[in-house]
Amino acid sequence: MRGGTLYSPKRREEEPKRRKVGLKKQRHKEKMATNQTEAHEHKMAQINSQVVFFKNIDSEDFQHTYDGVPFLIKAGETLPFQYPIAMLLAKHLAMRILRKKKSKAGVVGKDDRTGKPVNLYPADEMEKAMDEIIVKTVDRPEPRKMSAGEEAKRKHEELKKEFGPQLAKDNLAAVDKKDVIKELKKRGVKFDPRATKEVLLQKLMASEAAGEGE
């Protein structure tokens, strides 16, 4: 009995099928949601990889920050930016231009001469100003996303560069001269047994680099 209702034998037989169908529907919904998320991420990556040519159409130099980093565009200058940076800068330059325009018309703060509220940034005026600021947009191929293995390899190479010199010294100290001589003989490399371990090791490394004795 479930919730005060007694299941019939037929209902009990059909219950596993209903659960299976429900599970399939849930998995389908999850797959659809994942596909939509991936499609959105792909679309945003394409947009963010665009190069936008930004022109300071104002008569004064313009500076604004993106993620805490300041960008300066001189009056009349055109510079290339990534899409998100260019759009943020364009928005704030357009706002500054409209504020100056309203100020010349007698607007003080957000009110006109009579004290009535004024919309400083009408959508149509903002759009017009930004269209003049954004001179050109160039599509670029979306950067290829590295696999987990490729990313691990890249980090490994960075670590080798960072810690390699010290490890090379440590490894040199750990190698015995007899082992170096043994390996040189194995490879058929001529050497002076009276030479220091460091000299013999350099000869061995040169032999390995040349592929001798492999």
Last residue of a domain, one of 138, 163, 185: 138
* Identity of the residue numbered 115: G
Concatenated DSSP letters for 182-214?
A: HHHHHHT----TTS-HHHHHHHHHHHHHHTTT-
Query: Is residue 143 one of the residues assigned to a domain?
Result: no
The confidence band for 126, taking pLDDT boundaries of 50, 70 and 90, is very high
Residue 113's pLDDT is what?
Answer: 63
Mean pLDDT is highest, among 32-41, 55-64, 93-102, 142-151, for: 55-64
CB atoms within 10 A of CB 170: 10
Pick the last residue of a domain from 138, 167, 194.
138
Total domains in the fold of the chain:
3
Exposure class string for 33-70: b at 16+ Cβ within 10 A, else e: eeeeeeeeeeeeeeeeebebebbbbbeeebebeeeeee
pTM score of the predicted model: 0.50
Q: What is the pLDDT of residue 145?
A: 74
Residue 68 lies in a domain: yes
CA distance 214 to 186: 10
DSSP class of residue 113 equals: T
Question: What's the whole-number mean pLDDT along residues 166-194?
Answer: 80
Residue ranges making up the domain that contains 91: 49-138
Shared domain for 125 and 167, answered yes or no, is no
Query: Is residue 134 scored above 90 in pLDDT?
Result: yes
The reply to whether 197 and 156 lie within a common domain is yes
Instruction: Name the domain boundary from 112, 138, 164.
Output: 138
Over the stretch 52-63, which tens digit does the pLDDT of each residue have?
Answer: 999 999 999 999
